Structure 1
């Protein structure tokens, strides 16, 4: 099992270009702290929710994974 984000985006941990968490729902406090570990061969779709769609509901953005 591997982190789908790093496998699909070919990025290193600590150098993420996408965000999954905004501390206190503040757009200027972004972090990547949410993960999905699985077999990369099984993933058909991986998508991270957008700040404008989720900030009113949670400080975490959605992770949508289709197998």
Structure 2
């Protein structure tokens, strides 16, 4: 996974641990950005809103499993 600060090894592909690690990285990233910066939108062609919704959906799924 690549995020603002570089590449992050999440562990074995598609493992429960890699999904937990992914959720933690996204949560840390979200917490580290001011709400107005996130609301302003992405600095590239990536749709931050879509990424956020995927992360939230994944975290909800993870909490149920």
The two structures share one fold, judged by TM-score above 0.5: no
Q: Which has the higher strand share?
A: 1
TM-score of the pair, normalised by structure 2: 0.23
Whose relative contact order is higher, 1 or 2, with alpha carbons under 8 Å and at least 6 apart?
1
